[in-house]
């Protein structure tokens, strides 16, 4: 110890650096020191850590001892500039002011004695200079100093100096012996002296009170005769002897005030120890006005009797922590300290929340320390999105550091200057506070991240003092508080009780019994949200691949088109309930993709907003108020959601104005150009085609505008207001017809509309003279803040008027160029109005005399309000929602699938303003159409209804390009895949491309094929659209309208052109269950052309060569080939029952059967070789000869007939009829051949059914008969493509096929076209071939 250097506190403070001096620790130490020998946690903290990359404390290279005195904190509350807690031990060596310290091996004798601090950490603190962590120490003189009261006890008088104790010593004869259960925080309690007795009353609301600083101790005492004896101090010795027999069950409170209040740190150290307390007096304490409690109060003579061999009393903890708020002890390693020490992360996913300002975590609660949290509430929030345990600290909780952190992590000192947010939180009752605090913390942390750089810290957290409870006017709530309080039931705002009440009534009401608020939704930064969703997606995909049931789960979503398999990215849809995350952000158009996105500082996500208001503003912050669905499909992240918006202030401007009316007839896709490595959307090139209607809207302005609901201001926080009604698609009704779906989704708007005021009498308004070219009607603002705007006049300008109306008889078609931000607001088929302004471009246009399509640039400041024409009755009854015009947009037959509608876009139903038209002008659209009789437009299109409009953007269709009419098509998207030469390979290659240039080239060359179910038929749309051009959320399950697709003349094929525009009407959840597999596998289909053939009419584009099966080997380029062959055997046939729409009426060309064949494998032979031919649906049915007459004669000769055989009915004579009957009882039947693949009579057919009903032997025989019969056919002409090995592999994996070795060695072909061969034609072809040599 020669090299021992004595350091002074002054020196440490002067250094001002974190230090550790543990090298002086020697094994011979007389103390039972616990040394921080723990290794530092090596695993990194996954959560964002404000204490990044902690270093170890700098060790001193020599022995350094500090000699000084450990003292209790001073009793006066405002003790100079020191730590504001006033509950820390103080260390002083005379060289400087005392500093806060903590000590590991606390010994009550240490207080006031001079000690050698042998091993220590020093952490500088800003305000109080520094903090000393005493790891090991020794008394400077050998004698400890405190006199023992017995062999086992140390006697420690509490009154060390001057006394401020109450009452006289004569009453201080009580003592208790028990286990110290908890210590309350130090607080100032207002006291009032009793009026007529000696009892001291404490009343929180007394005006004549004086504050006493103190804290409460809760002991658990034994109720045995020794302990309950009045002379308890005398009985102490006896008690000690029988210590182990005591059962400490009865709670007793001791109030330490006056000089004893400085003993708070000592008692904190003693929590869990069995101690004796003498020199107490009993008092009845009134808590508030009603409740009284008998408790002990310290006096001048109070003294502690500590057991020398301190034996910890094991607190009774719940053996199983349910996480419902029960009290217990938790011991763990501090991983991070956040929010000024109010949030402590312990271990993995355990969070300690110090919910009250009075709770003062020790300075030594640093990251890396080992702590024991006593009397904490275990709360398992059971979040869907994460696992975590919350430790809620209440007034009983004490945090004891058991081992100091060896890391150079800072101490956290609570600042008593609170932000308004903290004040607000403090005002809540415990459970609410816990939740609120927890939530606010997350929100605040998240908001800070989300809006970094967008909003200032003050805007986020709030600035001035806000007292929520007393209703004082708040200066400025932060975004966090606005958000959080809007999500908090008002019932949670309860009056706080004092420390006394909360501690005394702890078990009965304050903490444990309050219900914890469930269904917490979290706001997270988008980047984290995206990460989580991707993980969810991966998990879901993984899960499916693990259970490879036949068809029920598909690892690969495989699309067969023209014999080639196309890998479809797996599309998963998650509901907001599953995610439990609330989305907040601003709505902006991505500069790179041109798509609308929800944006925060951390990330962005593509969104599809069904009710995007025209008042949408990129500078505002929006919250998704109702359920949203998250669609994840491979890499692109699509997120459809409903926003909550404030609407109103903009419409104030509508008074006394004249407006032009527009009808949007088409939108053009965002033009994309390649810039560098990215596909860059040209934001200035967003075009909308519209027709200026020959009508003007005149707002009379004379009527008072009434606002039944409040109008939101411009403040961003207003947009955070929750919608008064959750808009949720009624799932039950969504299963019905789609018209009811539409109705439901727009309900809130209508409901609110019904409350508006009508300025004119109904009689007057009901009918109007249309010939006067003026229609008087009432207008109202729809949406959340519905109110009437009074009467308006629709004035027809088509006739030449003195007002200088439109220069032509009919409406004028214009091309509007929008800024990117406003582009998404305008919908095809919707009416809009724009201010009729002298300088407005619409007016300028009117005066100009352009001959054809006119072009108007709409600057961002110009606002167009959407307009909805509703019949007058509608306004009052709020019944029917749709005008005939709007109805035509809805495909009401698509809802064949029973999938849940997740998102219903409702074009034409979400509008800013509703115009209630008189009855005779109900068909306002018709009125307009009459006006536009010239044939210029048919504004709204239905499926397969050819839009007569000539292409606006001159497509310049010359002979080089495909020709046809531009039409609109509406249907349900079944599959989307890219079309490349060899799709599977390209897909795989695509994954590996790192070179952006290559990627770019690849993207450029990609064209897409969309399979759309229209009228129960699959229609194929193709075109050179890349994946990026599709609207957000587009994919299988989407009900979409394809505007301006080219119907190729005479080919019954559709092509996406550069002017085509896709509008999503609704999104359905398409899970890859057996039903959807049926649809997905429904390959390119078309109308059947013959009774026993299945032909695809897109042939002319491909030159199909005729060949032999043996030539397939050489035909590796996957070109489709035609060959003539016969079926030898079947490999497998899967038969399914088709789910049919109840409203569906079979048409002539469509067979009214329920049989669907998702997959069938046939062995074909053409004399040159055999191959395995895969087919589905109609092609498989054709090959199975299902549409041919059932060979009843076969049974006649055998004399063996089936009892169900019907011979008379023509319809039932087809083979498929019999299958139909069988499938009524069985969802799916699989027939597999385990026998010969080369000889029909040696097939060994095995029939299996999915349902529990066993197949009757009749049916089984019939099935086999049908299969055999299929093998005895004439020559088929099959157009097919050779399947690559990947496709076969995937087909096998997806369908759990065990192909026989014999099949495996064959060539595999996917049949695209199947029909009987015409012998004459084929003979000519073969002859020609032979002649050609």
Partner 1 sequence: MEHSLYNTHVKLLAFDLNSLTQTSSSSSDPISFSRNGALLSRAETVGTVTSRDLKPNKFLRFTIDDGTGCVSCILWLNQLSSPYFSRRSPPDVRLIAQHALRFAAEIKLGVVARVRGKITSYRGVTQITVSDVVIERDPNVEMLHWLDCIRLARKVYNIIPHSNK
Nearer to partner 1 among residue 859 and residue 1090 (C-beta) = 1090
Question: Rounded to an integer, what distance in angstroms lies between the CA atom of residue 1000 and that of residue 667?
Answer: 26
Using the minimum distance from each CB to partner 1, give the nearer residue, 780 or 1125: 1125
Nearest residue to 301 via CA among 386, 233, 353:
233
Smaller CB separation from partner 1, 394 or 1267: 1267
The closest of 408, 414, 400 to 358, measured between CA atoms, is 414
Closer by beta carbon to partner 1, 548 or else 1235 = 1235
How is residue 1164 written in tokens? 């074909």
Minimum Å distance from CB 1317 to partner 1? 8
Tell me the C-alpha distance between 724 and 736, whole Å: 27
Give me the residues that bind partner 1 (CB under 8 A), please.
Answer: 1108, 1110-1111, 1124, 1126, 1128, 1165, 1167-1170, 1191, 1193-1195, 1197-1198, 1200, 1237-1241, 1244-1245, 1257, 1260-1261, 1264-1265, 1268-1269, 1271-1275, 1302, 1317, 1319-1320, 1322-1323, 1326-1327, 1329-1330
CB of 1125 to partner 1, least distance (A): 10
User: For residue 255, what is the enclosing H or E element?
Assistant: strand 250-257
Cα 122 to Cα 60: distance, rounded to the nearest angstrom:
11
- Which 8-state DSSP code applies to residue 642? -
Assigned token pair, 886: 């709007």
- Partners of 191 in the beta sheet? 210
Q: How far is the CB of 663 from partner 1 (least distance, A)?
A: 59
Whose Cβ is closer to partner 1: residue 859's or residue 1167's?
Answer: 1167
Cβ nearer to partner 1, comparing 876 with 1169: 1169
Minimum CB separation of residue 1080 from partner 1 in Å reads 34
Q: How far is the CB of 1200 from partner 1 (least distance, A)?
A: 7
Nearest to partner 1 of 618, 1326 (CB atom): 1326
Q: Tell me whether residue 349 or residue 1111 sits nearer to partner 1 (CB atom).
A: 1111
H-state helical runs in 547-666: 576-579
Render 1203-1244 in DSSP notation, one character per residue.
TT---S-SGGGBHHHHHHHHHTT-SEEEEEE-S-SS-GGG--
Q: How far is the CB of 1103 from partner 1 (least distance, A)?
A: 20
Residue 1058 CB, nearest approach to partner 1 (Å): 46
**Buried/exposed code over 485-514 (b: 16+ C-beta within 10 A; e: otherwise):** bebbeeebbeebbbbbbbbbbbeeebbbeb
In 3D space, the residue among 1016, 955, 962, 1007 whose CA is nearest the CA of residue 980 turns out to be 1007
- Which two tokens mark 1200? 């063996």
Q: Are 1275 and 1054 in contact (CB under 8 A)?
A: no
Pick the closer one to partner 1 by CB: 459 or 1166: 1166
Q: At what angle do helices 996-1005 and 983-992 cross, to 10 degrees?
A: 150
**Alpha helices, DSSP H, located in 949-1010:** 983-992, 996-1005
Query: How far apart are the C-alpha atoms of 976 and 46, rounded to whole Å?
Result: 38
The four Cα atoms 586, 587, 589, 592 give a dihedral, to 10 degrees, of 50
* Rounded least distance, CB 1165 to partner 1, Å: 5
Which residues, at least 6 apart from 1134, have a Cβ–Cβ distance to it below 8 Å? 551, 1157, 1158, 1159, 1160, 1228, 1229, 1230, 1295
Residue 988 or 1326 having the CB closest to partner 1: 1326
Axis crossing angle, helix 1285-1295 with helix 983-992, rounded to the nearest 10: 90
Q: CA 1333 to CA 1329: how far, in whole Å?
A: 6
Question: 497: which 2 tokens?
Answer: 């009780």
| In the complex, minimum distance from the CB of residue 1117 to partner 1, in angstroms, rounded to a whole number | 19
Between residues 281 and 1124, which has the closer beta carbon with respect to partner 1?
A: 1124
Listed residue (331, 425, 419, 320) closest to 372, CA to CA: 331
Residue closer to partner 1 by CB (options 207, 1198) is 1198
CA distances from 749 to 727, 875, 912 (A): 10, 11, 10
Residue 623: helix, strand or coil by DSSP?
strand
CB of 1172 to partner 1, least distance (A): 12
Min dist. Cβ of residue 1311 to partner 1 (A): 19
Q: Beta-carbon neighbour count of residue 856 at 10 Å? A: 20
Question: Strand pairing partners for 1199?
Answer: none
Residue the block writes with tokens 């001959």: 851
Q: Minimum CB separation from partner 1 for residue 543, in Å?
A: 40
For residue 273, the 8-state DSSP code is B
The answer to whether residues 878 and 744 touch, using CB atoms and an 8 Å cutoff, is no
**817 vs 1111, which CB is nearer to partner 1?**
1111
- Of 404 and 1276, CB closest to partner 1: 1276
Count other Cβ atoms within 10 Å, centred on residue 331: 13
CB of residue 1131 to partner 1, shortest distance in Å: 14
Place of tokens 């401020």: 164
| Residue 471 or 1199 having the CB closest to partner 1 | 1199
**Cβ distance 521 to 722 under 8 Å?**
no
- DSSP H helical ranges for 960-1044: 983-992, 996-1005
Residue 607: left if φ>0, alpha if ψ -120 to 50, beta else—which one? beta
Smallest distance, partner 1 to C-beta of residue 1161, A:
16
Q: CA separation (Å) from 1082 to 224, 1076, 1161, 1276?
A: 83, 9, 15, 21
CB of 1301 to partner 1, least distance (A): 13
Our CB check for partner 1 shows the closer of 755 and 1323 to be: 1323
- Rounded to a whole number of angstroms, the minimum distance from the CB of residue 1232 to partner 1 is 14
Query: Least distance from C-beta 1261 to partner 1, angstroms?
Result: 5
Q: Give me Rg for the CA atoms of the chain.
A: 41
Give the distance between the most distant pair of CA atoms in the chain.
Answer: 134
Smallest distance from the beta carbon of 1169 to partner 1, in angstroms? Answer: 6
Closest to partner 1 by CB, 571 vs 1126, is 1126
């Amino acid at each position: 110890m020669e090299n021992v250097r004595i350091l002074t506190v002054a020196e440490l403070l002067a250094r001002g650096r974190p230090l550790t001096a543990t090298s002086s620790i020697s094994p011979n130490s007389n103390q039972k020191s616990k040394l921080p020998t723990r290794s530092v946690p090596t695993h990194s903290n996954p959560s964002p850590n404000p204490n990044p990359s902690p270093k170890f404390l700098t060790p001193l290279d020599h022995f350094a001892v500090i000699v000084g005195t450990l003292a209790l904190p001073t009793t006066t509350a405002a003790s100079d500039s020191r730590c504001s807690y006033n509950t820390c031990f103080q260390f002083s060596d005379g060289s400087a002011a005392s500093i806060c310290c903590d000590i590991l091996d606390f010994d009550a004798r240490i207080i006031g004695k001079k000690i050698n601090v042998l091993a220590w950490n020093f952490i500088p603190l800003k305000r109080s200079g520094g903090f000393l962590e005493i790891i090991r120490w020794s008394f400077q003189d050998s004698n400890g100093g405190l006199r023992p009261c017995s062999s086992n006890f140390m006697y420690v008088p509490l009154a060390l100096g001057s006394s401020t104790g109450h009452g006289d010593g004569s009453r201080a004869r009580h003592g208790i012996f028990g286990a110290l259960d908890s210590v309350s925080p130090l607080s100032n309690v207002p006291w009032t002296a009793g009026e007529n007795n000696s009892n001291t009353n404490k009343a929180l609301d007394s005006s004549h009170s004086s504050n006493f600083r103190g804290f409460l101790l809760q002991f658990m005492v034994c109720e045995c005769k020794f302990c309950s004896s009045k002379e308890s101090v005398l009985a102490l010795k006896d008690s000690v002897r029988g210590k182990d027999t005591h059962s400490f069950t009865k709670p007793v409170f001791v109030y330490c005030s006056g000089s004893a209040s400085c003993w708070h740190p000592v008692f904190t150290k003693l929590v869990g120890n069995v101690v004796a307390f003498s020199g107490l007096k009993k008092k009845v304490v009134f808590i508030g006005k009603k409740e009284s409690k008998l408790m002990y109060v310290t006096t001048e003579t109070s003294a502690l009797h500590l057991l020398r061999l301190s034996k910890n009393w094991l607190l009774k903890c719940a053996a199983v922590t349910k996480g419902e708020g029960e009290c217990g002890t938790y011991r763990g390693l501090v991983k991070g300290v956040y929010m000024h020490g109010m949030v402590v992360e312990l271990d993995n996913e355990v969070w300690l929340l110090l919910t009250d300002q009075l709770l003062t975590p020790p300075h030594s609660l640093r990251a890396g320390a080992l702590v024991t949290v006593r009397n904490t509430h275990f709360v398992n929030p059971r979040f869907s999105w994460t696992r975590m345990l919350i430790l809620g600290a209440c007034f009983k909780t004490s945090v004891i550091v058991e081992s100091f952190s060896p890391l150079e992590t800072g101490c956290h000192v609570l600042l008593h200057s609170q932000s308004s947010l903290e004040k607000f939180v403090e005002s809540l009752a415990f459970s609410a506070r816990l939740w609120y605090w927890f939530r606010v913390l997350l929100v605040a942390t998240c908001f800070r991240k989300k809006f970094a750089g967008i909003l200032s810290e003050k805007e986020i957290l709030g600035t001035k003092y806000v007292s929520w409870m007393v209703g004082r006017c708040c200066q400025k709530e932060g975004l966090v508080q606005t958000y959080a309080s809007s999500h908090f039931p008002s019932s949670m705002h309860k009056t706080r009780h004092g420390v006394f009440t909360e501690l005394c009534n702890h078990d009965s009401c304050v903490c444990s019994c309050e219900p914890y608020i469930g269904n917490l939704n979290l706001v997270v930064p988008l980047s984290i949200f995206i990460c989580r969703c991707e993980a969810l997606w991966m998990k879901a995909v993984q899960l499916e691949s693990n259970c490879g049931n036949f068809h029920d789960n598909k690892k690969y979503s495989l699309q067969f088109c023209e014999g080639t398999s196309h890998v479809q990215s797996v599309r998963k849809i998650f509901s907001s309930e599953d995610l439990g995350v609330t989305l907040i952000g601003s709505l902006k158009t991505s500069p790179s993709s041109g798509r609308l996105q929800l944006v925060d500082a951390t990330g962005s996500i593509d969104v599809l907003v069904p009710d995007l208001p025209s008042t949408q503003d990129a500078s505002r912050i929006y919250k998704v108020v109702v359920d949203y669905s998250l669609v994840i499909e491979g890499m692109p992240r699509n997120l459809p959601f409903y926003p909550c918006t404030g609407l109103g202030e903009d419409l104030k401007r509508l008074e006394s104005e004249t407006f032009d009316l527009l009808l949007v007839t088409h939108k053009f896709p965002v033009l994309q150009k390649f810039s560098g490595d990215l596909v860059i959307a040209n934001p200035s090139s967003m075009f909308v085609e519209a027709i200026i209607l020959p009508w003007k809207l005149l707002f009379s302005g004379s009527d008072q505008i009434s606002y039944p609901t409040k109008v939101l201001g411009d403040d961003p926080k207003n947009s955070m207001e929750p919608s008064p009604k959750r808009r949720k698609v009624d799932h039950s009704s969504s299963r019905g017809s789609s018209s009811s779906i539409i109705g439901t989704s727009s309900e809130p708007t209508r409901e609110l509309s019904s409350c508006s005021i009508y300025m004119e009498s109904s009689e007057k308004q009901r009918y109007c003279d249309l010939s006067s070219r003026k229609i008087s009607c009432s207008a109202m603002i729809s949406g959340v803040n519905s109110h009437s705007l009074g009467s308006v006049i629709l004035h027809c300008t088509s006739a030449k008027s003195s007002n200088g109306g439109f220069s032509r008889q009919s409406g004028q078609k214009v091309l509007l160029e929008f800024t990117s931000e406003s582009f998404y607001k305008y919908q095809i088929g919707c009416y809009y109005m724009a201010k009729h302004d002298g300088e407005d471009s619409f007016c300028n246009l009117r005066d100009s005399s352009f001959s054809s399509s006119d072009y108007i640039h709409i600057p961002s400041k110009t606002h167009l309000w959407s307009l909805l024409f509703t019949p007058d009755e509608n306004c009052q009854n709020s019944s029917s929602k749709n005008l005939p015009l709007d109805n035509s947009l809805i495909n009401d037959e698509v809802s064949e699938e029973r999938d849940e509608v997740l998102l219903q876009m409702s074009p034409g139903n979400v509008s800013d303003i509703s115009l209630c038209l008189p009855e005779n002008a109900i068909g306002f659209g018709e009125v307009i159409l009459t006006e536009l009789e010239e044939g210029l437009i048919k504004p709204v299109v239905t499926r397969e209804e050819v839009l007569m409009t000539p292409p606006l953007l001159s497509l310049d269709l010359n002979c080089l390009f495909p020709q046809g009419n531009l039409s609109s098509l509406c249907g349900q998207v079944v599959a989307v895949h890219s079309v490349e030469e060899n799709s599977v390979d390209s897909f795989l290659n695509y994954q590996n491309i790192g070179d952006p240039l290559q990627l770019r080239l690849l993207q450029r060359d990609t064209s897409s094929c969309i399979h759309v179910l229209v009228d129960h038929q699959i229609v194929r749309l193709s075109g050179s659209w890349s994946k990026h051009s599709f609207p957000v959320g587009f994919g299988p399950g989407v009900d979409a309208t394809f505007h301006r697709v080219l119907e190729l003349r005479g080919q019954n094929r559709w092509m996406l052109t550069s002017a085509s525009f896709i509008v999503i009407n609704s999104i359905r959840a398409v899970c890859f269950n057996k039903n959807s597999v049926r649809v997905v596998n429904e390959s390119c289909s078309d109308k059947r052309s013959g009774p026993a053939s299945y032909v695809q009419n897109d042939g002319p584009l491909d030159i199909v060569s005729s060949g032999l099966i043996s030539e397939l080997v050489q035909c590796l380029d996957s070109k489709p080939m035609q060959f003539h062959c016969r079926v030898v055997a079947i490999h497998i046939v899967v038969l399914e029952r088709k789910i049919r729409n109840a409203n569906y009426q079979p048409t002539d060309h469509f067979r009214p059967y329920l049989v669907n064949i998702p997959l069938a494998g046939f062995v074909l032979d053409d004399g040159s070789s055999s191959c395995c031919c895969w087919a589905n649906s109609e092609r498989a049915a054709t090959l199975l000869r299902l549409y041919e007459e059932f060979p009843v004669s076969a049974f006649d000769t055998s004399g063996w007939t089936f009892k169900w055989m019907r011979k008379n009915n023509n319809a039932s004579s087809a083979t498929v009829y019999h299958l139909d009957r069988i499938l009524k009882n069985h969802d799916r039947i699989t027939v597999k051949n385990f026998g010969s693949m080369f000889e029909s009579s040696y097939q060994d057919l095995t029939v299996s059914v999915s349902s529990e009903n066993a197949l009757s032997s009749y049916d089984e025989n019939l099935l086999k008969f049908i299969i055999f019969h299929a093998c005895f056919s004439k020559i088929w002409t099959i157009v097919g493509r050779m399947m690559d090995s990947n496709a076969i592999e995937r087909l096998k994996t997806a369908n759990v096929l065990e192909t026989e070795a014999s099949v495996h060695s064959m060539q595999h072909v996917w049949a695209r076209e199947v029909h009987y061969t015409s012998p004459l034609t084929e003979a000519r072809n073969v002859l020609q071939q032979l002649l050609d040599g």
